[in-house]
Chains A and B, each alone.
Chain A
Amino acid sequence: MREIENKKLLTIIAPGELQRMVVEQLKKRGIGGYTVVAASGAGTSGLRSGMLVSDSSVILYVIMSEERLREVLVDMDQFMSRGYRVKAFYQDISILPRKEAKPKSGEAVTD
């Protein structure tokens, strides 16, 4: 079995209109993999019914290392300082990686 890795799962809730901007910022940090889910709800910005493009939210899930997480959180902080209505929170996760870790020299590869 593959070796379980400890990672961080960052969850970003943002207006749908800002998805492209958030993703482009993630790319600048070298992150190309993410999952997006359409969402609706309500908050200080009012109702987000999801019925119109201008009225929809998205949830982005990104798995990354702790070092990279800190950089991304700085970016999210900058977004918020500018007034963008995004929420970001993270949690520790244990993940079964898709790619197997490269065996150390002298170590046997097992099935």
Chain B
Amino acid sequence: MIGSAASNLLDPAVLFFVLGAGIGLLRSNLEIPSALARFLTLYLLIALGLKGGAALSTGGLPAEGILAIGAAMGMATFVPAYAFYLLSRRIDPFDSAAIAATYGSVSAVTFITAQQFLTARDVDFGGYMTVAMVLMETPAIIMAVFLATMVRSRQAVAKAASAPEYDEAFEPLSTREVLREALTDGAQLVLIGSLVIGYLAGTEGKEELLPFTSGIFKGMLAFFLLEMGLLVGRQISEGRAKLDKALFAFSFLSPPVNAAIALVLAYMIGLQVGDAVLLAILASSASYIVVPAVVRYAIPEARPGVYFTMALGLTFPFNILIGIPLYFAAAEYVWP
């Protein structure tokens, strides 16, 4: 475990993340143009989708893949449910619903970094895990919107007398509108589209795109992690005062707990070790791009300074630095 963690920390991409975080914490004047940062996000999603699609076209969708996707969907429903149940007893219910959605969903960059970690150790995994990642995005959002609507209804009944009267031109948000927002998210569409293109292009297309999807991939990931480290460092130095101890504990404890549940589930359904580690990563990571963007729209009562800081400032670095080697070591220990 210690050897695995140490070798992970010496990975250039992870070292760039640490460098970025250090620069951010020092409040240095380093700036990465936002257009470049967004380009890198799109590049990583396209490369991830193409590779996943190509793997699916050669390997197909075996029974193991269907089981893995089912397990992923199960985790995407279970995690927000228990997170909301636990958190709403201590903190604002809208914040609880937003955190539940964030942690029920996934971080694509953590997933990509974990794939790199496994590839460097010659551990195989299925292309269907990318499909699982795509599918895990939505259930948590739907559940969080449902929970927030429930909380809103309760509060509306309590405050009925003092509720503001809405202007006729101002219609309340419908669940359909929220779902449209979630399902038409640009990053999500690019990822799904790339997955389909990768599948249709098959092995020939994969060979043609190798310099794009593999040759420069590690360097681009390192650059992106430098940017993410910078963002994390600045988020921590700006936002740490807003989180209480319970939220700090949740940010660091829920990832290994979720990963442990996912590993048990993976073992029970007979997944191979690479798929099991990726399932653990999906279950333990928190979304800081797609879900916060949708939650800001669908649950405006929740404080972004809480759920965004937790997902990006605490859980993301935990998984990148400690989580990935920890879950891998646990899987290696259990799997024959």
B297 CB–A CB distance under 8 Å: yes
**Bound-complex Cα distance A38 to B37 (A):** 14
**Interface size class for chain B?**
35 or more
Interface centre among A21, A45, A71, A85 (most CB of B within 10 A): A45
When the two chains form their complex, are residues A82 and B300 in contact, meaning their CB atoms are under 8 A apart? yes
Q: A46-B242, A47-B234, A53-B293 are in contact. Are A82 and B167 (CB under 8 A)?
A: no
When the two chains form their complex, are residues B300 and A44 in contact, meaning their CB atoms are under 8 A apart? no
Identify which of residues 51-101 in chain B touch chain A, using a CB-to-CB cut-off of 8 Å: 94
Residue-wise interface mask of A (17-49) relative to B, using a CB-CB cutoff of 8 A (1 in contact, 0 not) = 110010001001100000000101010111101
**Bound-complex Cα distance A83 to B155 (A):** 14
When the two chains form their complex, are residues B38 and A46 in contact, meaning their CB atoms are under 8 A apart? no
Q: Tell me, rounded to whole Å, the shortest Cβ–Cβ distance linking B36 to chain A.
A: 9
Q: Tell me, rounded to whole Å, the shortest Cβ–Cβ distance linking B237 to chain A.
A: 9
What 6 pairs between A and B have smallest CB-CB spacing? A83-B300, A46-B305, A83-B301, A51-B37, A54-B292, A50-B34
Q: Which one of A3-11, A58-66, A73-81, A98-106 contacts B?
A: A73-81
Q: A21-B297, A53-B293, A54-B293 are in contact. Are A47 and B164 (CB under 8 A)?
A: no
- Residue of chain B at shortest CB distance from A20: B181
**Bound-complex Cα distance A43 to B224 (A):** 25
Q: A29-B169, A46-B308 are in contact. Are A52 and B297 (CB under 8 A)?
A: no
Which of B170, B239, B296 lies in contact with A18, CB distance below 8 A?
Answer: B296
What is the number of contacts between chain A and chain B, taking CB atoms within 8 Å? 87
B303 CB–A CB distance under 8 Å: yes
When the two chains form their complex, are residues A85 and B300 in contact, meaning their CB atoms are under 8 A apart? yes
Q: Tell me, rounded to whole Å, the shortest Cβ–Cβ distance linking A24 to chain B.
A: 10
When the two chains form their complex, are residues A52 and B235 in contact, meaning their CB atoms are under 8 A apart? no
Contacts of B242 in A (CB 8 A): 46
Q: Tell me, rounded to whole Å, the shortest Cβ–Cβ distance linking B153 to chain A.
A: 14
Task: Please name 22 pairs of A and B residues whose Cβ atoms are closer than 8 Å in the assembled complex, sorted by A.
Answer: A18-B296, A29-B169, A45-B303, A46-B238, A46-B239, A47-B234, A47-B235, A47-B239, A51-B32, A51-B38, A52-B231, A52-B288, A53-B289, A54-B289, A56-B34, A75-B169, A78-B170, A81-B164, A82-B300, A83-B94, A85-B296, A85-B304
When the two chains form their complex, are residues A17 and B239 in contact, meaning their CB atoms are under 8 A apart? no
**Bound-complex Cα distance A84 to B304 (A):** 11
**Bound-complex Cα distance A47 to B94 (A):** 20
Identify which of residues 245-303 in chain B touch chain A, using a CB-to-CB cut-off of 8 Å: 288-290, 292-294, 296-297, 300-303
Which of B38, B94, B169, B238 lies in contact with A53, CB distance below 8 A?
Answer: B38
